[in-house]
Structure 1
Amino acid sequence: MEFSQEEEHNKISLTKFESMLKTNNILFFDSNEFENIIHHYLNNGKVALAKKAIKLGLDQHPTSTNLKLFKIEIFVFENELEKANDLLDQLHLIEPSNEEIYIQKANILSKEDKHDEAINVLQKALDLADDTSDLHSIIGMEYLFLDRFDLARDSFMRCLEQNPEDYASLYNIIYCFDFLNETEEAISFLTKYLDKNPYCEVAWHQLGRQYFEQKDFEKALSAFDFAIISDDTFVGAYIEKGKVLEKLKEYNEAIENYTITLSLEDPTSFALLRIGHCHEKLGNNELAQNYFYQTVHEDPLLDKGWIAITKFYSKQGNYQKALYYINKAINIDSENVLYWKLYAKINHRLNFLEEAERGHKRAIELGNYELETWLMRADLLKQLGEPEAATLNLIQAAEFYPENAEVEFRLAGLYFQLFEQEKASYHLKNAMRFDAEHIIILEELFPQVYESLLVKSVIKR
């Protein structure tokens, strides 16, 4: 590999600097050499070495503004904002037209969450700069912090006007359109951009995503094909094309596209999972099972992988194997609500009622407050002979679902069983008022209560 003359010079300067640090012999470098050395260390995350280079640089070139700006950058990085501001004020008095001083000032204001002020400072820098592309990008990011997506989008558009290959700005523009739910506007923008840049794979990919959002799968497919024509190694385009083909029930073609991604880069758990789902839809159960295994092997923390393999066995009625795999998933991530919900359902299928109740309870503890979870747990507690615990569970459910007949009928039945007639009558009257048709709950879950004279008298009122 050949280095340019400038790269070779920088490499020599770096070697010379590191040799100096080892020997403690002070050697002379011009200020540009120090800037390149510092830049190299900062880019590689070697802050301690960058600080040494800044100190030695300023010892040899005490008036260098650029070296002082690097020092300010370190102050900001280490959150010593007061020191950074003091040094910036000194530099501003010397060089009031230096745009970098304004950029650093804006950086400090941004760190202090003063984004409006940061934008005002950056606007001043725009008047001083020859190349304003980077400044518009920074302003765009500040608008993003303020959730001003329309203004952020406009700033990134100015970047793209100056550099049509600034794909970071292109992505940010579409992100803003997405957040503003302006799909049609995004399509119009991308279409105009592609008129001028017809071989931009990123734009075709983003256009395909917009059509996919509109469920216009044929146009999405065409856009992803153009992305692949523009760059046949573009993994994202193959993935998105595969998703479209799945929607069109073209599972074999979807598998082909997902498989291409496996040869272009290291296998991704997402591609393996989608291939597994496609084989499952095609009835290729052995292949589906194999790809689901590969998915969880590739990424043991991907919940969708474990859920897929668990549901695969559940659909086949093999609940023992489904339980085995959901237990493995829980051992890896015991805080995953989806795992506990599946754990509860599988144990219920196996008639392991205590474990099923434990699964619903854990899901609730982890923040799953769906009505079904509360009701299933209450019914299990009733079956397990724990009516007091069931009522407590339902009272908690009522806080999230007030005026819910399903909750109230269950509470009425439980209180009748506990011989707390006053509470039972209260909840029964509430239930009848909320939705009398749900009386079937009482009839199915509490048949003896349903047939009692007291209940009959309440129902007739």
Structure 2
Amino acid sequence: MQMSPNEHNNFSLSRFESMLKTNNVLFFDSEEFEEIIQHYLENGKIALARKAVKLGLEQHPTSTNLKLFQVEMYIFENKLDIAEELLDDLYVLEQSNEEIYIQKANILSRRDNHKEAILLLEKALEITNDEADVLSLMGMEYLFMEDFENAKYYFMKCLEQDEEDYSALYNIIYCFDYLEQHEAAIDYLNDFLNKNPYCEVAWHQVGKQYTVLKYFKKALAAFDFAIISDDSFIGAYLEKGKVQEKLKQYHEAIESYSITLGLDDPTSFALLRIGKCHEKLGNSELALQFFTKCVEEDSLLDKGWIAITDFYFKRKNYQKALYYIDKAINIDSENVLYWKRYARISNRLNHFEEAEHAFRRTIELGNYELETWVSRSDILIRLGEYEAAVNNLNQAAEFYPECAEIEYRLAGVYYYLNEETKGEYHLKNALKFEPEFVMIIEEIFPSIYERKSVREIIQKRQNPSV
């Protein structure tokens, strides 16, 4: 009884792995080695693929295909010079083998020489029996060069050759998106769907394009067609739920997200969105349940921790909010969004030193928003750390020159430090930029505001004729 191709492949794999375990040398023909190597490469088992290449060449030292796999291994290991030498030797023997051109192009691509890589791929295209694969590689080279029009063209040619190459379809839409050609993307996808009416991926992509253009009803219809084409397509349910949220159809959105929970392991995104919908509907307990499930499912999803923290913050339960944001920071201490919330909550709890530390961390992590600088300086002033407040405000001024909020604060702090000249300079600057913001001095520095010299500067600015 003859074995099917799959059974033959499995038998070859079993024999090969048995040989590795026992150290008994067994013979395989070159095609068997090729199938074994291909299997390992497709499954990311590079070490086993490398062993199969080595043993294959020991048994079949003249096999061009096995040598090409060896080249692929060298390229993967970034040993480009060795790979190039082997390819040059093979090219002398076989100038009509498209794989030689493809691997040479791969090396050029690795060296960022994409134009020359394309020239070699054009030669490969002339002699290959698998045009779709080469066209896809050409599309990728144009993508690397950020030539999105040409990339789009070659991925389209690839899809014409193989209408089930969804990676090409995704790349085409990526190009349309980058070029902001959303209407053109819809036209292209509709033409594709005329030939492939049950392609769930195309319907899904049409829906996403309609969503970008805010044609929400058309987007929902497209996602429904994607679901009709494949009722287990999780992505279509998730996108449908997102659109239903935009339309404030929260009950319907919950239903869409909930379906995904039954199709596969629950995703943290779906759990989070269900929680958000319940929160919008006023179902506080259910919202909290789903936010909690979300962080249990994926403790690295910052949006989950932020949702729980904000849930308690809105209800002025600052201790609970602090408890959850503290847990989040313990998991990821480099997350700016966590530190911003930690600072705000600590401030509400009058934990000023902790709040100052948190604002400092957000700045250290690259958050240079004006609010962050100003909030930190206000806390430093409250703590009596005037020199630190000046340093903080001067740093802020580098990012926000001619900013009245910074200048009023610098004026007040310099007056506190008895540096009258600097205080007056910054006060005049602030009044020149935004005279109506003078209440900053009144609120943060009331004793300075009552000074006669300060009042005179303010009144002179407000009433120049006096």
Q: Same fold (TM over 0.5)?
A: yes
State the Cα deviation string for residues 17-37 of structure 1 (Å, max 9, x = none): 344445555443322122122
Counterpart residue identity of residue 87, structure 2: L
User: Kindly tell me: are residues 21 and 309 of structure 1, through their superposed partners in 2, closer, same or farther at Cα, counting changes over 3 Å?
Assistant: closer
Structure-2 change in CA distance of 1:429 and 1:273 (3 Å): same
Match of residue 250 from structure 2: 251
Which residue matches 1:428? 427
- The aligned counterpart of 2:393 is 394
Identity of aligned residues (%): 66
Give CA-to-partner distance per residue, 1:250-287, whole Å, 9 cap, x none.
11111111100000000000000000011111111111
Aligned to 1:341: 340
Matched, 1:65 2:33: no
Q: 1:260 matched to which residue of 2?
A: 259
Deviation at 1:422, TM superposition (A): 1.5
**C-alpha distance in structure 1 between counterparts of 2:78 and 2:103, whole Å:** 13
Q: How many residue pairs get matched?
A: 460
Residue deviations 1:300-342 (CA, integer Å, cap 9, x gap): 1111001001111111121111111111111111111111111
Q: Which residue of 2 aligns with 1:364?
A: 363
Q: Output the CA distance in 2 between the equivalents of 1:271 and 1:3.
A: 48
Moved more, 41-50 or 2-11: 2-11
| SS across alignment from 1:96 | coil
Q: Residues of 1 paired with 2:440 and 2:395: CA distance? A: 19
TM-score using structure 2 length: 0.95
Residues in 2 aligned to 1:246 and 1:4: alpha-carbon distance in whole angstroms: 53
Q: 1:447 to 1:24 in 2, by over 3 A?
A: closer
Alignment of 1:297-316 (within 5 A): 297-316=296-315
| Pairwise CA distance, 1:455 | 2.1
Q: Which residue matches 1:40?
A: 39
**Structure 1 residues 250, 46: CA separation in 2 closer, same or farther (over 3 Å shift)?**
closer
Residue 221 of structure 2 corresponds to residue 222 of structure 1: yes
Bigger mean CA deviation after superposition, 350-359 or 43-52: 43-52
| Structure 1 residues 15 and 353, CA gap change in structure 2 (3 angstroms) | closer
Structure 1 residue 329 corresponds to structure 2 residue 318: no
Q: Which runs of 5+ in 1 are unaligned?
A: none
What is the distance in 1 between the residues matched to 2:178 and 2:438?
45
Q: What residue identity is the alignment partner of 2:254?
A: I
Whole-angstrom CA distance in 2 between matches of 1:429 and 1:330: 42
* Residue in structure 2 matched with residue 351 of structure 1 by the alignment: 350
Shift of the 101–380 alpha-carbon distance from structure 1 to 2, 3 Å rule, reads same
How far apart, in 2, do the equivalents of 1:407 and 1:4 lie? 80
Corresponding letter in the other structure for 1:260: I
Query: What is residue 28 of structure 2 aligned with on the other side?
Result: 29
User: Which amino acid in structure 2 is aligned with residue 193 of structure 1?
Assistant: F
- Please list the CA deviations of residues 145-196 of structure 1 after superposition, one character each: whole Å capped at 9, or x if unmatched: 1111121111111111111121111111111111111111111111211122
2:145 aligns to what? 146
Q: How far, CA to CA, are the matches of 1:454 and 1:261 in structure 2?
A: 68
Equivalent positions of 1:134-283 (< 5 A) are 134-283=133-282
- Cα distance in 2 between the residues matched to 1:362 and 1:56: 55
What's the counterpart of residue 102 of structure 1? 101
Aligned to 1:382, the other structure's residue is in SS state helix
User: Cα deviations across residues 76-110 of structure 1 (Å, max 9, x unaligned)?
Assistant: 12222111111111111111111000001011111
- 1:132 aligns with 131
The residue number in structure 2 matching 1:83 is 82
Is the partner of 2:354 in helix, strand or coil? helix
Mean CA deviation greater in 449-458 or 18-27? 18-27
2:215 aligned partner, one-letter code:
D
Distance in 2 of aligned mates of 1:46 and 1:426: 69
Tell me how far apart the structure 1 counterparts of residues 393 and 137 of structure 2 sit (CA, whole Å): 52
* More divergent stretch after superposition (380-389 vs 47-56): 47-56
Counterparts of 1:409-448 in structure 2, within 5 Å, are: 409-448=408-447
Amino acid at match of 2:286: L
My pick for the range that moved more, 407-416 or 348-357, is 348-357
Question: Distance between the aligned counterparts of 1:217 and 1:37, measured in 2?
Answer: 49
Structure 1 residue aligned with 2:292: 293
